[in-house]
């Protein structure tokens, strides 16, 4: 039994070489809705290539040179007595070459598998990558945002003194934060809402990478609204001095600049800021290395003053 060079996924039969697509790959194309468009494009490419005699379809395939006359004369347009390429005759014609050297048979539990050809691998791989990069629909992002808004407030603007506003922060910061929760690098606090208890680790683990990126972009476009805090003017003044020395480089514009990609501490709820300071001090919340060096030099009263300064921003 022989087959044309460069084709993979063949299953031996008595009369023909049958082209099959493994169930796992087929499932990857058929089930995710986002890949249906890509799958149609993939089919068109394969069908076109099959018609040109350079590829194969999904149902069955016969060698392009199954005609024995072509096997005997690989150059049908030349006279049978004409000169042939050196070292090339019917025995090493593509239809008769034994490709076992290029496509080793891999046996697993008695099932013979054949490696994908480079061409098929390229097409399937590029199609999968294209499907994976398709953006989520606005409706899908909106549904995810509804669950976020339950704790973080409508459009990500909090009404709770222990929950931060996420609207207006940079997409990069929001994405990094959710990935930290998803991986467990950052531990989320339990929060009770409408009789249900959850935390950001549980929430983030349910989101795919594409959903995390989409929801980060969604909230980054929402307007930031400062929380209505009651602060101590003396502590605000002291905190500003500390901010200029220790925090300004990374948290510019009084902590209100989203382009810093360091969150927006300015205008957040005072209680949330005080809690965050304690988590940093207790090392229960990770910090960038450069922040850790400066933060560890702050005393508790300094941390409180900085929290009041940020909370006073509008």
CATH number of the domain at 271, please. 1.10.760.10
Residues 113, 213: one domain?
Answer: no
Tell me which residue range forms the domain holding 38: 10-132
226 found inside a domain: no
Helix runs in 153-269, H state only: 171-183, 200-205, 209-220, 233-242, 252-255
Residue 4 lies in a domain: no
pLDDT value at residue 195: 84
Rounded distance between C-alpha atoms, residue 102 and residue 113, angstroms = 13
Choosing from 109, 132, 155, the residue where a domain stops is: 132
What is the total count of domains within the chain?
A: 3
Do 243 and 203 lie in one domain? The reply is no
Give yes or no: residues 28 and 111 share one domain. yes
Please provide the distance, in angstroms rounded to a whole number, between the alpha carbons at the two ends of the chain: 78
Mark which of 164, 193, 220 sits at the end of a domain: 220
Is 5 domain-assigned?
A: no
CA 270 – CA 308 distance, rounded (Å): 7
Asked whether residue 2 is assigned to any structural domain, the reply reads no
**In a domain? residue 189:** yes
Q: What is the pLDDT of residues 165-196, one digit of tens each?
A: 999 999 999 999 999 999 999 999 999 888 88
Same domain, residue pair 75 and 171? no
Verify that 285 and 299 share a domain, yes or no: yes
Please indicate, yes or no, if residue 228 is contained in any of the structural domains. no
Whole-angstrom distance, CA of residue 238 vs CA of residue 78? 94
What are the tens digits of pLDDT across the range 268-310?
A: 999 999 999 999 999 999 999 999 999 999 999 999 999 999 9
Nearest to 136 by CA among 203, 212, 200, 201: 212
Domain boundary among 88, 115, 132: 132
Task: Based on the fold, state whether residues 142 and 125 are members of the same structural domain.
Answer: no
Residues of the chain scoring pLDDT < 70 = 1-135
- Does 305 share its domain with 272? yes
Specify whether 26 is located in the same domain as 80.
yes
Do 257 and 284 lie in one domain? The reply is yes
- CA-to-CA separations, 85 to 26, 78, 94, 95, 271, in angstroms, rounded: 41, 12, 14, 16, 84
Residue 103 is assigned to a structural domain of this protein:
yes
- Is residue 146 domain-shared with residue 116, that is, in the same domain? no
Task: Output the pTM of the full model.
Answer: 0.59
For residues 119 and 189, state if they share a domain. no
Tell me what pLDDT residue 136 has: 76
Q: What is the per-residue pLDDT for 44?
A: 64
The residue count of the chain comes to: 314
């Amino acid at each position: 039994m022989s087959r044309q060079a460069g084709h993979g996924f063949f299953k031996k039969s008595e009369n023909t070489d049958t082209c099959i697509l493994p169930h796992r790959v087929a499932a990857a194309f058929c089930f995710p809705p986002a890949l249906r468009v890509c799958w149609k494009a993939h089919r068109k490419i394969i069908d076109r290539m099959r018609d040109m005699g350079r590829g194969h379809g999904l149902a069955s395939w016969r060698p392009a040179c199954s005609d024995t006359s072509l096997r005997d004369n690989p150059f049908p347009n030349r006279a049978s007595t004409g000169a042939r390429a050196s070292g090339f005759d019917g025995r090493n014609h593509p239809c008769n070459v034994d490709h076992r050297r290029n496509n080793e048979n891999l046996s697993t539990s008695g099932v013979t598998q054949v490696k994908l050809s480079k061409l098929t691998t390229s097409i399937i791989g590029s199609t999968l990558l294209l499907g994976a990069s398709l953006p989520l629909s606005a409706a899908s992002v909106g549904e995810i945002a509804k669950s976020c808004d339950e704790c973080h407030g409508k459009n990500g603007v909090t009404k709770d003194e222990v929950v931060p506003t996420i609207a207006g922060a940079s997409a990069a910061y929001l994405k990094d934060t959710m990935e930290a929760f998803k991986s467990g690098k950052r531990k989320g606090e339990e929060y009770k809402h409408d009789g249900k208890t959850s935390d950001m680790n549980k929430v983030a683990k349910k989101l795919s990478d594409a959903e995390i990126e989409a929801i980060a972009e969604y909230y980054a476009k929402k307007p930031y609204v400062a929380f209505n805090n009651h602060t101590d003017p003396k502590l605000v003044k002291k905190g500003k001095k500390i901010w200029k020395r220790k925090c300004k480089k990374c948290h510019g514009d009084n902590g209100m600049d989203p382009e810093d990609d360091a969150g927006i501490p300015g205008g957040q709820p005072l209680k949330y800021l005080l809690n965050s300071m304690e988590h940093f001090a207790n090392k229960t919340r990770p910090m960038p290395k450069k922040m850790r060096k400066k933060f560890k030099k702050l005393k508790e009263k300094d941390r409180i003053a900085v929290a009041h300064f940020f909370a006073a921003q509008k």
